[in-house]
Homo-oligomer: A and B are copies of this chain.
């Protein structure tokens, strides 16, 4: 059991009413709660009031309660008998464009009760934000997108509650983080302004919203805390990620990168935070090559090339026969090819370094990653020069973004004491390989820390920690969003980064030593 004295729940022993102390039931409860929380005042959800008089008397004025701090205003959402074994439960939701992850938490102990994930059913409308936003503009489209996610959440919440040994009515608090568009669709708000210049969301800071008003049937007074977005391209998932990393609490400068189609980057410390986002290209997620795919069984996630023999050792997820390659596997592959001399510093395949694997076609050179005899489908897994070019453009974009943001603030990479890599994809990247290809700066490997699903992690932290809302507000207010201008300077940096690892080899001394 976790120490949860800083959580959202309280157990109170109220002074009993008398002619001398004839405060109202609610006032009695709320003033005790305010005292325990060191809050000026605590509000009460109206639905709690109906049964309160009977409950307080039946429970002899001892009561467990759940209070939430909605950006400075405390609100009591639910009460329970101190004898009841029913928990106050909370649900963390990482609302991804593709995948939605749920984590059920006991709000009193902080304990994780269950975790589950499901595909965002809006995929049926369109795989990405843009298609869904266009669909939302059509007659009834927004309502449909909203209903799809709400219904899927309700069904999956029912299942996760059952798995956690609870009823959906036990869920009193939801912390939800997602990108700006997904958050909007969840709230039933149009993402129309988000995708069009000048890129205007409907709302940045929704705060605590009644679950019922959104169509979610949980505890009758359950609230959904939606992480704020700083703008159209910097969503609540990133704020949750910062919260989870603790970057905003450190004396030292840290950087957080969420790698994906969009690279979202935060640089800062306790005193300041700068963020930017830019297209790094779908190449980093394994989405563009013929054999590229998201991480799944049989997908290559790790590659070693024996420097002596030039033989390939590929590792697949769950050790299934190889059928494709994911982003982290691709980064590994490119790094190893480069170290083995099979890719030159411009990222071109070098036939003579591996004549049995590299062959010419009408569209240029191709590399056999896995031959037909060893692949899952009985056909060789191959990558063309264009595939490598696209990966290199993506890694160059990423590095350029990192250079731009540090340059803007005037700090060097070596000033960064901690470099967090967020996102499911990020957790599979091996820093050594990413450094080798010049995607991330040449810092000691221990500087890099993978956060895994930091959006879910931040949402979970919000459920566990009473101070987290104030931290979210502080992050939200402190952050300066830097609009990336693709100007001449950016293009110069980008061009220099389109080499392996970089035109300036001095930027990557550890790579220089290795080759």
Q: Is the CB of A27 within 8 A of B203?
A: yes
CA distance A434 to B207 in the complex (A): 57
Report B-chain residues with C-beta under 8 Å of the C-beta of A200.
17, 22-25, 53
Q: Is the CB of A26 within 8 A of B198?
A: no
Q: Is the CB of A198 within 8 A of B19?
A: yes
* In the assembled complex, A362 has its CB within 8 A of some CB on chain B: no
Tallying the copies of this chain within the complex gives 2
* In the assembled complex, A12 has its CB within 8 A of some CB on chain B: no
* In the assembled complex, A3 has its CB within 8 A of some CB on chain B: no
Q: Which residue of B is nearest A189, CB measured?
A: B49
Report B-chain residues with C-beta under 8 Å of the C-beta of A44.
203
Q: Which residue of B is nearest A188, CB measured?
A: B50
CB distance from A395 to the nearest CB of B (A): 28
Q: Is the CB of A46 within 8 A of B198?
A: no
Which single member of B27, B199, B206 contacts A205 (CB below 8 Å)? B27
Q: Is the CB of A24 within 8 A of B202?
A: yes
Q: Is the CB of A43 within 8 A of B207?
A: yes
Interface size on A, residues (CB 8 A): 44
Q: Provide the A193-222 mask, 1 if CB < 8 A to any CB of B, else 0.
A: 100011111111111011001000000000
Q: Which residue of B is nearest A45, CB measured?
A: B213
Q: Provide the A248-284 mask, 1 if CB < 8 A to any CB of B, else 0.
A: 0000000000000000000000000000000000000
User: Which residues, 277 to 328 on A, are CB-close (under 8 Å) to B?
Assistant: none
Report B-chain residues with C-beta under 8 Å of the C-beta of A213.
46-47
Report B-chain residues with C-beta under 8 Å of the C-beta of A198.
17-19, 21-22
Q: Is the CB of B188 within 8 A of A22?
A: no
Report B-chain residues with C-beta under 8 Å of the C-beta of A193.
25, 53
A202-B23 CB under 8 A given contacts A46-B209, A209-B46: no
CA distance A193 to B232 in the complex (A): 52
Which residues of chain A have a CB within 8 Å of any CB of chain B?
Answer: 17-19, 21-27, 43-44, 46-47, 49-50, 52-54, 73, 187-190, 192-193, 197-207, 209-210, 213, 229, 231-232, 483
